[in-house]
Amino acid sequence: MTTQPTKETPETQDDGVPTQHSRAANTSPAYPRVGEVLEFTLDFDAPANEPMEMVEEFGYNSTGWSYVGTKVTGRQTRRFKLVQIGYCSNTDKVRTKTAVLGATPEGQWINAFKAAYPVPDGQGPIGIADDSWIAADGRANYPYLLAVGFQHFNYGGHVRGEDWRWLVVVE
């Protein structure tokens, strides 16, 4: 998987100095600001980006899961931004609020975000409101990154708080 943020990112932490307990500077780029335009390239044919493989990679047993989204193939490049929209009680409301800010991308793009920004900022989850993954219990789920950086799926009917950021496509 190849990812390419559009702006140059710092090679060290905010002040350029390693943290007190670190032996070397953190060379991972900081999470982008809300509204900052990013560009990612993703190979949808790579095994890690196959929807059912993502279920396994995220730590779930894929038995009984299914994927009902559009099958995307090939290598694609798109532009994105993070948006914050406040409290939403389900992913339908997330998609309604984000529609004026950008289109909802395929959930596999969460892998591109994670590859470009492997170190979380701890400031809240990053989600993609594509609930195309159906769990064994029949509930629709969407992919997201926890504030601590773990990749996870969440039921589309759960409440989303003020700290959630959503990845949307910039046209």
User: Residue 27 has what pLDDT?
Assistant: 58
Q: Do 11 and 24 form a contact (C-beta atoms < 8 A)? A: no
For 24-47, the pLDDT digits (tens) are 444 567 899 999 999 999 999 999
Higher pLDDT among residues 70 and 160, named by residue: 70
Does residue 108 surpass a pLDDT of 90?
A: yes
pTM: 0.83
Distance CA 39, CA 129 (A): 19
Q: 3-class SS at 62?
A: coil
Average pLDDT of every residue of the chain? 86
Q: Is the pLDDT of residue 49 over 80?
A: yes
pLDDT bin (cut points 50, 70, 90) of residue 139 is: very high
CA distances 70 to 67, 101, 105, Å, are 9, 22, 11
**Residue 104 to residue 30: CA distance in whole angstroms:** 23
Close Cβ partners of 103 (under 8 Å, ≥ 6 residues apart): 168, 169, 171
